[in-house]
Chain A
């Protein structure tokens, strides 16, 4: 069941609080969302004055991640106070950046919003193929999808909301300085690894074949990397040219190697925000591979990224108690 607060209530409070922050000089700017050009797609925006705060929204269309913009020097620099409208995953990205010494906590004002998940437009498109969607409304726990011919299709939350959001156990922004309306606190304790445990039952050949099939569709647009909050290297390994580290073609070994290395690089840092799989134009199941690695890190090192700004990433530290049964 969806929360009772209307979008209007959330937006009113959001705009009022952002205006107050700007007016009191507590932040120089706020990263947020404004209405996008498509029903399921809000677009990021930077608000620097009170009047602009009127365009801020928060709803199911706010899929893009905002945290990574904090690492752009022309948007945020050390010493500047910057506000961020934060879903649970955005706040965890901020916390992870602090753990990785990319941000200072005192510079950031985390404005938590009551996230109930975001829409994955691709999931809806596959559910209602080749029909033009012009809008949606919420009715109880259903999404009422409006089509161009004025007919409607009623879909369950599970059919519309992004997979990562369905298994999310941290929807409320942790360590929020301000919270808009109330935190959810009502998260169902889903086993976020259910899907992965099913996958683990497959044989190794079967698993390899599955990912071969997935990565064979990759067109190397790097939307996954560029959207990923944890992929922030100034120069990505795949862009190294002197010497060049990786082949750039779309042969399977090159595309698989790119994804495997990228995933190894975010293992123990991945927030399971699902952006990589949501932005992928080829619907590659990146969430499954990331999820598997997250599960490994949780089981081996009892580490979940984005929760503790004091704790370094699991693979960037060593503990005598780490399991090492693989060493003979």
Chain B
């Protein structure tokens, strides 16, 4: 079986039905007027033309609220970790890379995260090239690009009436073998040429030129830079950027007891370094007492510490924070400021 196949969009239903039988299938669809990654059921309309989803799809593997144990009197019960394997259809390359970043954090460090590990490892990721990256996108500055295959098992290119599918991993090759009933076709030279042209045109749409990896050495010397104060004078210190970000992964653990009983649940929930509560200690002391200190942490974590700890950049250039920040704090401007010697 070939490593590169073609599927006419009119035959896409066959692939979706096949995926639905074997996997818990997620894909981009319209919910309340916004495109989001959600469960795809037979008959759902897949939206392959989206610029970017508002929320990142990280919650497919890293739930915002994850029960980790239930307790009652003296007994404790952990939820079963069994699951149907997940398939995600039409993930943008930035989000596919973000999952690789999260995988490092949750599986390569001191501790193995059981909620992430199994589900991600068993998943099948279909990335799709971004034919029209948004003006807020800067994946070319984070070592990727609108057609980066990082993190993809199967890479899709939308050439109009058909999709070109390329297996990029063992899992992808295996999938082509088992999904032999799907109405695949062999792409011809014209199809491949078209795919190449689309890729080249997409790359031209990205206007930013800086390289985010160059910022680490500057950040290491920028702890006391007044720029943190300037940013913090605007920043609202909300968690919007962290919660839309595909790589932010900090969490909190809470016990929620039913009042008047000895019964409850321990949950793992998303948290954000932008909240003052994030670092407030039991004594009341807060080592990051200001918005400036918190904002600095967020930038340092992504562009400095994660490189030390896991050898990866903590930003994939998806631009969600840029697009949605209530006060237009634009990470691209901040990074360029450092590179241009404001730091």
Asked whether, in the complex, the Cβ of A223 is within 8 Å of the Cβ of B242, the reply is no
- State which of B120-128, B150-158, B164-172, B232-240 sits at the interface with chain A: B232-240
- Known contacts A36-B330, A37-B322, A64-B327; is A226 also within 8 Å of B243 by CB? no
Indicate if B226 sits at the interface (CB-CB under 8 A). no
For residue A54, give the distance in angstroms from its CB to the closest CB of chain B: 17
Indicate if B179 sits at the interface (CB-CB under 8 A). no
- State which of A41-49, A171-179, A198-206 sits at the interface with chain B: A41-49
- State which of A20-28, A247-255, A256-264, A310-318 sits at the interface with chain B: A247-255
Indicate if A227 sits at the interface (CB-CB under 8 A). yes
Closest to B265 in A: A249
Indicate if A281 sits at the interface (CB-CB under 8 A). yes
Indicate if B309 sits at the interface (CB-CB under 8 A). no
Q: Of residues 316 to 343 in B, which have CB atoms within 8 Å of A's CB atoms? A: 322-330, 332-333
A222–B254 alpha-carbon span in the complex (Å): 18
A43–B229 alpha-carbon span in the complex (Å): 15
A133–B135 alpha-carbon span in the complex (Å): 8
Asked whether, in the complex, the Cβ of B205 is within 8 Å of the Cβ of A279, the reply is no
**Chain B residues touching A, majority SS:** loop
- State which of A8-16, A86-94, A152-160, A213-221 sits at the interface with chain B: A213-221
Indicate if B136 sits at the interface (CB-CB under 8 A). yes
Instruction: Kindly list chain B residues whose C-beta atoms are within 8 Å of the C-beta of A64.
Output: 326-328
Asked whether, in the complex, the Cβ of B330 is within 8 Å of the Cβ of A223, the reply is no
Asked whether, in the complex, the Cβ of B238 is within 8 Å of the Cβ of A223, the reply is yes
Indicate if A75 sits at the interface (CB-CB under 8 A). yes
Indicate if A148 sits at the interface (CB-CB under 8 A). yes
Indicate if B54 sits at the interface (CB-CB under 8 A). yes
For residue B158, give the distance in angstroms from its CB to the closest CB of chain A: 13
Q: Which of A248, A278, A281, A283 has the most CB of B within 10 A?
A: A281
For residue B141, give the distance in angstroms from its CB to the closest CB of chain A: 14
Asked whether, in the complex, the Cβ of A248 is within 8 Å of the Cβ of B49, the reply is no
Asked whether, in the complex, the Cβ of A247 is within 8 Å of the Cβ of B328, the reply is no
Instruction: Kindly list chain B residues whose C-beta atoms are within 8 Å of the C-beta of A226.
Output: 236-238, 326
Instruction: Kindly list chain B residues whose C-beta atoms are within 8 Å of the C-beta of A136.
Output: none
- Which one of A44, A222, A247, A282 lies within 8 Å of B54 (CB-CB)? A282
Indicate if B144 sits at the interface (CB-CB under 8 A). no
Asked whether, in the complex, the Cβ of B238 is within 8 Å of the Cβ of A283, the reply is no
Asked whether, in the complex, the Cβ of A130 is within 8 Å of the Cβ of B49, the reply is yes
Counting contact residues on chain B (CB < 8 A from A), the size range is 35 or more
Per-residue CB contact flags for chain B residues 265-298 toward chain A (1 = under 8 Å, else 0) read: 0010110100111001000000000000000000
Asked whether, in the complex, the Cβ of B65 is within 8 Å of the Cβ of A249, the reply is yes
- Which one of A133, A222, A249, A282 lies within 8 Å of B256 (CB-CB)? A249
Indicate if B97 sits at the interface (CB-CB under 8 A). no
Indicate if B44 sits at the interface (CB-CB under 8 A). no
Asked whether, in the complex, the Cβ of B238 is within 8 Å of the Cβ of A222, the reply is yes
Asked whether, in the complex, the Cβ of B326 is within 8 Å of the Cβ of A42, the reply is no
Asked whether, in the complex, the Cβ of B236 is within 8 Å of the Cβ of A227, the reply is yes
Asked whether, in the complex, the Cβ of A75 is within 8 Å of the Cβ of B326, the reply is no
Instruction: Kindly list chain A residues whose C-beta atoms are within 8 Å of the C-beta of B322.
Output: 37-38
For residue A328, give the distance in angstroms from its CB to the closest CB of chain B: 29
Q: Which of A72, A222, A241 has the most CB of B within 10 A?
A: A222
Q: Count the A residues whose beta carbon is within 8 Å of the partner chain — how many?
A: 44
Instruction: Kindly list chain A residues whose C-beta atoms are within 8 Å of the C-beta of B325.
Output: 41
Asked whether, in the complex, the Cβ of B65 is within 8 Å of the Cβ of A43, the reply is no
Indicate if A225 sits at the interface (CB-CB under 8 A). yes
Asked whether, in the complex, the Cβ of A132 is within 8 Å of the Cβ of B132, the reply is yes
- Which one of B134, B205, B239, B323 lies within 8 Å of A221 (CB-CB)? B239
Indicate if B74 sits at the interface (CB-CB under 8 A). no
For residue A255, give the distance in angstroms from its CB to the closest CB of chain B: 10
Q: Which of B51, B229, B244, B326 has the most CB of A within 10 A?
A: B326
For residue A163, give the distance in angstroms from its CB to the closest CB of chain B: 14
Indicate if B261 sits at the interface (CB-CB under 8 A). no
For residue B99, give the distance in angstroms from its CB to the closest CB of chain A: 19
Indicate if B42 sits at the interface (CB-CB under 8 A). no
- Which one of B50, B242, B276, B326 lies within 8 Å of A279 (CB-CB)? B326
For residue B327, give the distance in angstroms from its CB to the closest CB of chain A: 5
For residue B341, give the distance in angstroms from its CB to the closest CB of chain A: 19
Instruction: Kindly list chain B residues whose C-beta atoms are within 8 Å of the C-beta of A282.
Output: 34, 54-55
- Which one of B55, B269, B276, B327 lies within 8 Å of A248 (CB-CB)? B269
Indicate if B32 sits at the interface (CB-CB under 8 A). yes
A82–B233 alpha-carbon span in the complex (Å): 15
Asked whether, in the complex, the Cβ of B330 is within 8 Å of the Cβ of A220, the reply is no
Task: List 14 A-B residue pairs with CB atoms under 8 Å apart, sorted by A's residue number.
Answer: A43-B234, A44-B327, A64-B328, A129-B33, A132-B135, A133-B135, A221-B243, A223-B236, A223-B239, A226-B238, A239-B277, A249-B254, A249-B256, A281-B244
Interface residues in chain B, defined as those with a beta carbon under 8 Å from any beta carbon in chain A:
32-35, 49-51, 54-55, 64-65, 132, 134-136, 205, 229, 233-234, 236-240, 242-244, 252, 254, 256, 267, 269-270, 272, 275-277, 280, 322-330, 332-333
Instruction: List 15 extra interface pairs beyond A37-B330, A130-B49, A220-B239, CB under 8 A.
Output: A38-B136, A44-B233, A44-B234, A129-B33, A132-B51, A133-B135, A221-B240, A222-B239, A223-B238, A227-B236, A239-B275, A249-B267, A279-B240, A279-B326, A283-B33
Q: Which 6 A/B pairs are nearest by Cβ-Cβ distance?
A: A279-B326, A43-B328, A36-B328, A226-B238, A249-B65, A41-B328
